[in-house]
Amino acid sequence: MEPKFRIAAITDEFSPADPALAMAQMESIGMTGAELRVLWGKNIMDLSPDELAKAKELAQQHNMDVISIASPILKCVLPGAPEIDTRFQQDIFNSKHTFEDQPRLLERAFSIAKHFDAKIVRVFTYWRTVQPEACFTAICRALADMADQARAEGLIIGVENEHACNIATAADSARVLNAVQHPNLKLVWDPANALVSGEDPYPGGYSLLPKDRIAHVHVKDCHMDGHKPIWGPLGTRSVDWKGQVGALWNDGYRGWLSLETHWAGPGGNKFEGSTICGWNMRGLASM
């Protein structure tokens, strides 16, 4: 059965070292979209012009639309903020930057997005502190400024709810989207990240979201062991993905479902794990 939703993946979930291998497997599953984060072991922000050209050529060879630049923007410490909440793992994906680097990174992300004709630049909300509410005004200011710059470039700033950052849940996301009423700021909705943050992502969290502000959806699954997420095969853990996908369709979402596996895979074989999750996602997208 053909998927009702278009399906995609972050390529390094299949292989961070070999994007050609990743895209070939993604294509075999029926994916037609790619998010770029780590290629040839390097963060997308650090690729040379030749590597960017090669990545674009690979996407074309495998009939992939590059849909998002999965940047690390605002995965950094906010100066003057409360201390960092150490309960959550900070995934940096071969990229470590400071607050001072952020303007340069945004400019770079816009350039890369335009190179690939990608419409979304994903961003975050600074590393999570023990008092996220104390960071809210600074987060809103930063997102509004980035959205203004994105409007001039014809791009969308996609803020992802991330358990290791200050905007982690649907409730957090709804609050920041309400505070920053900008057409170029939208949400990268990640139900599993909300789950890790202690929220029931669906139906509870999802019911709080402004549906017209969801630009993109990340797909992965886990259950919790205390504060620790135990990642596993998509559709077999604690996120009600069947209900969530159905609700997205009924509410008019027609964007991508994009795999961000996280699961290490059977026997530690993440390529196989992403393949399993990819086929599971295709099934969910075909309901």
- Angle at which helices 49-61 and 102-116 pack, to 10 degrees? 40
What pLDDT score does 93 carry? 60
> Mean pLDDT of all residues in the chain?
96
* pLDDT tops 70 at residue 95: no
Percent of the chain with pLDDT over 70: 99
**Alpha carbon 50 to chain centroid distance?**
25
Q: Residue 38: beta bridge partners?
A: 43
* pLDDT range class, residue 175, cuts 50, 70, 90: very high
What pLDDT score does 241 carry? 98
Domain spanning 6-285 has what CATH number? 3.20.20.150
Distance CA 23, CA 18 (A): 9
* pLDDT range class, residue 287, cuts 50, 70, 90: confident
- CB neighbour list of residue 122: distance below 8 Å, 6 or more residues apart: 35, 68, 69, 70, 71, 73, 158, 159, 160, 188, 216
Task: With 0.95 as the threshold, say if the pTM is over it.
Answer: yes
Higher pLDDT, 253 or 97: 253
Q: How many residues does the chain have?
A: 287
* pLDDT range class, residue 97, cuts 50, 70, 90: confident
* pLDDT tops 70 at residue 242: yes
Distance CA 83, CA 243 (A): 37
Cβ proximity of 163 and 134 under 8 Å: no
* pLDDT range class, residue 88, cuts 50, 70, 90: confident
Six-digit token string for 22? 């990743």
